[in-house]
Amino acid sequence: MSLIMKDVRLTYPDGDRRLVALDDVSLTVEPGEIVAVTGPSGSGKSSLLAVAGALVTAESGTVAVAGTDVTGLGQKDRDRLRRDRVGFVFQQANLLAALTALDQLLLVAHVTGAPKAAARTRAMELLDYVGLAAKAHRRPGRLSGGERQRVAVARALMGEPALLLVDEPTSALDAERGHDVIALLRDATRERRTATVVVTHDLRHLDLLDRAMEMRDGTLTPS
Ligand code: ADP
Ligand code: MG
């Protein structure tokens, strides 16, 4: 299993009280499986991804990523696990304006210390995979919104993640581009054997995915 979350609880300070963001959330995702998480704004979807990707530590419960129990790790080991095993894609592609599509990917390899020639080969292979080989040398300003999200997906795949966490990737896109990005994530999940969690508002895409879960007030249930 690439992601196992069991009875995860997370709260944030909220004045004199605490706001329960995740209320005993359990979720298991296997390699090659893509799961949707839907639910209203403020229900805890992004918090779920933050805990799954070891960005935030759960108050109680367990989280295991690619067979490693995250809950027991110190900060350094958690950072390493996230870097080596987790890919993130956010609502906005968060690309650096000054870098070409290719360089966005090479930056990841630079951070992880991957050998340069191999990184370049892999980056070009991934840009080709997301349909952007011909635009590898364009900066974000000369890419469409859909293309920028494709670069973000390719970048998230650079480190060969076991876990791919995607937060509302289509909210800035029209229906057709949104559909294409979700289809790309599904294909990548199958072909690259990631365990993928996609937070989405758009119920039209759900038929492309394996399962849908719904978050309400910090509680996750099958929908
Ligand atoms: P969603 O992604 O479904 O919109 P979030 O996980 O972002 O929901 O937020 C869940 C709840 O936790 C919301 O009420 C939000 O205001 C609150 N929240 C999120 N992040 C923080 C934070 N860093 N500090 C305090 N409250 C937060
Ligand atoms: Mg959110």
Ligand nearest the Cα atom of residue 23: 1
Q: What is the pLDDT, as a whole number, of residue 145? A: 93
In a domain, 55, yes or no: yes
Residues whose CB is less than 8 angstroms from the CB of residue 111 and which lie 6 or more positions away in sequence, other chains included = 83
CATH label of the domain that carries residue 11: 3.40.50.300
In a domain, 17, yes or no: yes
In a domain, 121, yes or no: no
42 lines ligand 1 (CB under 6 A): yes
Per-residue pLDDT in tens (0 to 9) along the chain, 223 residues:
799 999 999 999 999 999 999 999 999 999 999 999 999 999 999 999 999 999 999 999 999 999 999 988 999 999 999 999 999 998 887 899 999 999 999 998 888 888 999 999 999 999 999 999 999 999 999 999 999 999 999 999 999 999 999 999 998 899 999 999 999 999 999 999 999 999 998 888 889 999 999 999 999 999 8
* CA distance linking residue 70 with residue 91, whole number of Å: 25
In a domain, 69, yes or no: yes
Q: Give how many domains the chain has, as a whole number.
A: 1
In a domain, 142, yes or no: no
Cβ count within 10 A of residue 49: 23
Ligand nearest the Cα atom of residue 41: 1
Of the candidates 28, 4, 6, the residue with the CA atom closest to the CA atom of residue 222? 28
Query: 22: domain range?
Result: 3-89+153-222
68 lines ligand 1 (CB under 6 A): no
Q: What is the pLDDT, as a whole number, of residue 205? A: 85
Ligand nearest the Cα atom of residue 90: 2
In a domain, 108, yes or no: no
75 lines ligand 1 (CB under 6 A): no
C-alpha 167 – ligand 2 centre gap (Å): 7
In a domain, 97, yes or no: no
- Residue 43 CA, closest ligand 1 atom number: 3
